[in-house]
Chain A
Amino acid sequence: MPMLEVNNIHTYYGNIHALKGITLTVEQGEIVTLIGANGAGKTTTLRTISALLRPRQGNVLFEGEDLSNIPAHQMVYKGVAMVPEGRGIFSRLTVSENLDMGAFSRKDKDSMGKDLERVFTLFPRLKERRNQVAGTLSGGEQQMLAIGRAMMSHPRLLLLDEPSMGLAPVLVEAIFDTVIAINKEGTTILLVEQNATMALSVAFRGYVLQTGEIVLSDSAQNLSKNEMVQKAYLGME
């Protein structure tokens, strides 16, 4: 049984048909990426999976459980954490307070301490700056904080929305290294990216989205060799 199963979902914004029957699966322990151009429906897919949007048709199963009637705030209790697009950190709170908010859903203080250690090992910068107001962090640090905060809920599935957005190339690499590290420690990851080169270099499998439909799905390796993907998303002629 796949960890996450998205069955033919149709999501609308008012009358706009944004997702036209998306079907995808994520297996336990994988990194799966969704690539596609602006407006292809990547973020909409992620928001539908995390129950912030409701599909009009189709359903989402997480570990076999239908999530259709689970409110969005319950998702984190089920083991799904999301790093929203544009980071969405609490900019007026300090780094520590942000991380504390990430563990909001938890009551087990002991393992929370362990997770905090883990986040600080992944992102030593956050430890250095733990008393700093989050809004004054650099873009890369804010992205680290957003990922670290999501990790504080000890998720089994991590949904990452455009972690490379607006970051310098060197920082993008650093972020993707951590994505791999997080995955190696046992967290399954669904990654939405415009930066297809980076996304395909870390992912096991990938889906290509175009105007609300999946046009291609294959292993990451095959996708990066695919002519159409190379042309449209990898900038190769």
Chain B
Amino acid sequence: MNPEKKFTLRDAVNQGLIAGLITSLISMVGMVELFSKRQLIANLMTTAQVFILLAPALLSYQSARKSAKNNALASGAVTGFFASIPIIVLVLLASAFDLRQFLVNVSPNLISTLTFGQGPVVGSLILVAINTLIGLLAAILHQLDEKIRNPILTGLLWTLLVGMFSEILQERLRAFFGISFTNLIIRSKALQPTVAVILLVGITAIAYFWGQRGASFSERIANQSATQRRNMIIAQRVAFFVLLLAMPLLLGTYLSEVVNNVGIYVLMGLGLNIVVGFAGLLDLGYVAFFAIGAYVMAILTSEGFLGVAQTSFWVALPVSVITAVAAGIFLGTPVLRMRGDYLAIVTLGFGEIIRIMANSDLLKPFIGGAQGVLQIPKPSFFGTSLIQPGQLYYVVLGGVLLAWFVSTRLSNSRLGRQWMAMREDEDVAEAMGINLVNTKLLAFAIGAGFSGLSGAIYASKLTSIFPHSFNLLISINVLSLIIVGGMGSLPGVVIGSLILVGLPELLREFAEFRLWMYGALLIVMMLAKPEGFWPSAITKRELHAHDESIPIEEPAAAD
């Protein structure tokens, strides 16, 4: 790719060793072994094997991409070959010495997974062969024409995803099509090998034809008249909305619960997005408002001895939001003069103060201290209590849609422009006539309001809350999901929540590696896609301002 810097054999070897080290590392921390129980394809492949081969495959692909065209295949194979070396070293060391004394996760089980159950010597040979093969395949894949490569990658990705989540899929398919049909596709939580092949080929073919047709299809759209296009957009929106409404029916209880959790974070994310993404104020104590919303809801509605009013969910909801907004203003006022890092530290402190206060003996008579508040009723709607996750879903959905609507309206408003100017340069914004005090306070207050709303729903969803649910980690989670999705981007918040909250929920094995994964994901994101998965228009423009290929949208004719 880069003609000035030649990619030598040595680079290929280095890439391979790095890949091998990555694999050894995730083996040593225990990730591989945990995932060896999750089968992808019945009796053939487990998620663990995907994890073992992922780094070699990716880095071989990189090697092939970076090296000259005529020796790309060789580079890929070399990278693959050397990727096996560190793993073999690990295997041999583990069979010669008792590594578990200091590396507790290097268990016989892990070694057997790494060597495909064949013992150290044969296993090592298999490792070399498979890694070289994978490296070669990755290089071949890179050499293929884009029109063929992309469909194959799509096919691989979807097949792996379906395989990984086959347990959930199995449950869903059973609910819709019955056991006998499901068993044809998925048996004992794994895809049937034939089905996997059909899936791979099928999706690749569809992606291929879609790619072929895509050009003419978008041309057809471009040729449509304005009204036709508008009708289509309306139709899409209606379809999307109907899909949103029908979601619980399609997803079933477990997935609805997952979606609700994601929704709670989306709601918080949309709020923090206003503070961090729009106004550029780094708030690390965002969980405080979430906690305040949750505690107000809890105290107002609880049927236990701490409940003061036993009001209904719908009465308590606005009170929670208003309290959170008030707290936002309360926090905002003293920290107005802070900028950047200082603001982050002060808000961090505020978040901790709220958590410690919730835990304190002083407030124990009112909010229960470490025992928390219990017996919070679920919300009810015209007499029916929304007990099922599928029912609660609509409450969460309502909150998210409201926050979404407010966010879009705000970002295009005068206030949105005030935030934007303030984020870029506070002094200049002030010189333009922007009242920094009000602008900052509004960002804090609105962000806190969404978080309070989220907390209130959370409290009545869980029916009991404890101080330790409101730790710093939540603030970090929300901030991370905004970064992963793309600062200042609303769809980015949803994507970020799905990746950082939804995925770990579905891959329960992840639980203990959650933070590990966050760190890894954030580093990779910052290197590979610093603008996030779905960047806002402004960020996209900024990062691609120098490629002429992305035209800047003509503003609408002056009115």
A81 close to B431 (CB less than 8 A)? yes
On chain A, the residues within 8 Å of B146 by CB distance are: none
| Bound: A153/B430 CA distance, A | 13
| Contact with B428, one of A75, A88, A92, A113 (Cβ below 8 angstroms) | A88
| Bound: A136/B429 CA distance, A | 20
Which of chain A's residues 97-120 have a Cβ closer than 8 Å to chain B? 100-102, 104-105, 113
**Closest CB in chain A relative to B553 CB, distance in Å:** 8
Number of interface residues of A (CB under 8 A): 34
On chain A, the residues within 8 Å of B545 by CB distance are: 132-133, 135-136
On chain A, the residues within 8 Å of B425 by CB distance are: 88, 90
B434 close to A73 (CB less than 8 A)? yes
| Contact with A132, one of B420, B428, B435, B552 (Cβ below 8 angstroms) | B552
| Bound: A153/B425 CA distance, A | 18
Cβ proximity bits B432-453 to A, threshold 8 Å, 1 near / 0 not: 1111100000000000000000
Cβ proximity bits B3-46 to A, threshold 8 Å, 1 near / 0 not: 00000000000000000000000000000000000000000000
**Closest CB in chain A relative to B531 CB, distance in Å:** 12
Cβ proximity bits B78-120 to A, threshold 8 Å, 1 near / 0 not: 0000000000000000000000000000000000000000000
Number of interface residues of B (CB under 8 A): 27
Instruction: Check if A160 is an interface residue, CB within 8 A of chain B.
Output: no
**Closest CB in chain A relative to B435 CB, distance in Å:** 5
Cβ proximity bits A50-85 to B, threshold 8 Å, 1 near / 0 not: 101000000000000000000111111100011010
B427 close to A101 (CB less than 8 A)? no
Instruction: Check if B542 is an interface residue, CB within 8 A of chain A.
Output: yes
On chain A, the residues within 8 Å of B538 by CB distance are: 92-93
On chain A, the residues within 8 Å of B546 by CB distance are: 136
Instruction: Check if B340 is an interface residue, CB within 8 A of chain A.
Output: no
On chain B, the residues within 8 Å of A93 by CB distance are: 420, 424, 538
B420 close to A90 (CB less than 8 A)? yes
On chain B, the residues within 8 Å of A89 by CB distance are: 428
Cβ proximity bits A125-153 to B, threshold 8 Å, 1 near / 0 not: 00000011101100000000000011001
| Bound: A77/B434 CA distance, A | 10
**Closest CB in chain A relative to B376 CB, distance in Å:** 44
A82 close to B431 (CB less than 8 A)? yes
Instruction: Check if A94 is an interface residue, CB within 8 A of chain B.
Output: yes
On chain B, the residues within 8 Å of A76 by CB distance are: 431-433
Cβ proximity bits A10-35 to B, threshold 8 Å, 1 near / 0 not: 00000000000000000000000000
| Bound: A114/B344 CA distance, A | 43
B554 close to A75 (CB less than 8 A)? no
Instruction: Check if A188 is an interface residue, CB within 8 A of chain B.
Output: no
On chain B, the residues within 8 Å of A102 by CB distance are: 432
Instruction: Check if A91 is an interface residue, CB within 8 A of chain B.
Output: yes
A84 close to B431 (CB less than 8 A)? yes
On chain B, the residues within 8 Å of A73 by CB distance are: 430-436
| Bound: A131/B427 CA distance, A | 24
| Bound: A71/B431 CA distance, A | 10
Q: Known contacts being A92-B542, A131-B555, is A104 close to B424, with CB within 8 Å?
A: no
Q: Known contacts being A73-B433, A92-B541, A104-B434, is A133 close to B428, with CB within 8 Å?
A: no
B552 close to A94 (CB less than 8 A)? yes
User: Nearest chain-B residue to A136 (Cβ)?
Assistant: B545
B427 close to A133 (CB less than 8 A)? no
Q: Known contacts being A92-B538, A96-B555, A131-B552, is A71 close to B424, with CB within 8 Å?
A: no
| Bound: A213/B546 CA distance, A | 46
B427 close to A153 (CB less than 8 A)? no
B431 close to A101 (CB less than 8 A)? no
Q: Known contacts being A72-B430, A74-B433, is A101 close to B421, with CB within 8 Å?
A: yes
Instruction: Check if B557 is an interface residue, CB within 8 A of chain A.
Output: no
B421 close to A104 (CB less than 8 A)? yes
Which of chain B's residues 391-439 have a Cβ closer than 8 Å to chain A? 417-418, 420-421, 424-425, 427-436
Instruction: Check if B226 is an interface residue, CB within 8 A of chain A.
Output: no
**Closest CB in chain B relative to A169 CB, distance in Å:** 27
**Closest CB in chain B relative to A128 CB, distance in Å:** 13
On chain A, the residues within 8 Å of B558 by CB distance are: 113
| Bound: A71/B425 CA distance, A | 17
On chain A, the residues within 8 Å of B434 by CB distance are: 73, 104
Q: Known contacts being A93-B420, A131-B555, is A105 close to B428, with CB within 8 Å?
A: no
User: Nearest chain-B residue to A88 (Cβ)?
Assistant: B428
On chain A, the residues within 8 Å of B420 by CB distance are: 90, 93
Q: Known contacts being A93-B538, A132-B552, A133-B545, is A104 close to B428, with CB within 8 Å?
A: no
| Bound: A131/B553 CA distance, A | 8
**Closest CB in chain A relative to B419 CB, distance in Å:** 12
| Bound: A23/B344 CA distance, A | 40
| Bound: A70/B342 CA distance, A | 27
**Closest CB in chain B relative to A73 CB, distance in Å:** 5
Which of chain A's residues 194-233 have a Cβ closer than 8 Å to chain B? none
A90 close to B431 (CB less than 8 A)? no
Q: Known contacts being A131-B554, A133-B541, is A72 close to B431, with CB within 8 Å?
A: yes
Cβ proximity bits B527-559 to A, threshold 8 Å, 1 near / 0 not: 000000000001101100110000011110010
| Bound: A149/B539 CA distance, A | 22
Cβ proximity bits B254-293 to A, threshold 8 Å, 1 near / 0 not: 0000000000000000000000000000000000000000
| Bound: A122/B538 CA distance, A | 28
Q: Known contacts being A92-B542, A104-B417, is A153 close to B432, with CB within 8 Å?
A: yes
On chain A, the residues within 8 Å of B539 by CB distance are: 92
| Bound: A50/B433 CA distance, A | 11
User: Nearest chain-A residue to B417 (Cβ)?
Assistant: A101
A84 close to B433 (CB less than 8 A)? no
**Closest CB in chain A relative to B148 CB, distance in Å:** 36
On chain B, the residues within 8 Å of A50 by CB distance are: 431
- 13 other A-B residue contacts (CB within 8 Å) besides A90-B420, A93-B538, A105-B433: A71-B435, A73-B435, A84-B431, A88-B427, A91-B542, A92-B538, A93-B420, A102-B432, A104-B418, A104-B433, A133-B545, A133-B552, A135-B542
Which are the 8 A-B pairs with shortest beta-carbon distances? A105-B433, A76-B433, A88-B428, A90-B424, A133-B545, A82-B431, A72-B430, A104-B432
| Interface pairs (26), CB distance under 8 Å | A50-B431, A52-B430, A52-B431, A72-B430, A73-B433, A73-B434, A76-B431, A77-B433, A82-B431, A84-B431, A88-B425, A88-B428, A89-B428, A90-B421, A90-B428, A91-B424, A92-B424, A92-B542, A93-B420, A101-B421, A104-B417, A104-B418, A105-B433, A135-B545, A149-B432, A153-B433
